[in-house]
Amino acid sequence: MEPAVRQVYEDLDDYRQFCVNNGYIFDEKDLYRSKSPWGHMQNSIRNRRTPYNQWIRDGRAMRQAIRDSFHSKPRKDKRN
C-alpha cells in the first residue's frame, strides 16, 4: 500500500477515535476540513490548548437539569 494511502487510513482511525472519545459525530468527509471538530482539535493541539469534550458538556447539562427538577415548585392537583 502506498504511504499516502496508509496515512489517510491512519488519519481516519485517529479521527474516529477522537469522535468516540469526545462525543462528536463521525463523518468521513470532515477528515481534512478545517472547520470541523477534528480541524478545531488539530488547531488546538498546534496552539497547545485542550480540545473541547462534548461528553463533559452533556454531563454538566444533565446534572443541571436534575438539579432544576428538584428545585421546581410542586404542582397542585386540581381534582373535582
User: Which tens digits make up the pLDDT trace of 45-65?
Assistant: 788 877 667 777 777 777 777
Per the domain annotation, does 70 fall within a domain?
A: no
Give the whole-angstrom CA distance, residue 78 versus residue 31: 56
Per the domain annotation, does 75 fall within a domain?
A: no
Counting the structural domains of the chain, the total is: 1
More confident residue, 72 or 57: 57
User: Which ranges of 1-80 would DSSP assign to H, the alpha helix?
Assistant: 3-22, 37-46, 54-71
Q: Is the pTM of this model over 0.75?
A: no
Per the domain annotation, does 14 fall within a domain?
A: yes
Per the domain annotation, does 9 fall within a domain?
A: yes
DSSP 8-class letter at 47: T
Per the domain annotation, does 66 fall within a domain?
A: no
Q: Give the domain extent around 30.
A: 3-59
Per the domain annotation, does 65 fall within a domain?
A: no
Convert the pLDDT of each residue in 12-25 to its tens digit: 999 899 888 878 88
Q: What is the mean pLDDT of the chain?
A: 80
Give the whole-angstrom CA distance, residue 27 versus residue 16: 8
- Asked whether residue 77 carries a pLDDT value surpassing 70, the answer given is no
Per the domain annotation, does 40 fall within a domain?
A: yes
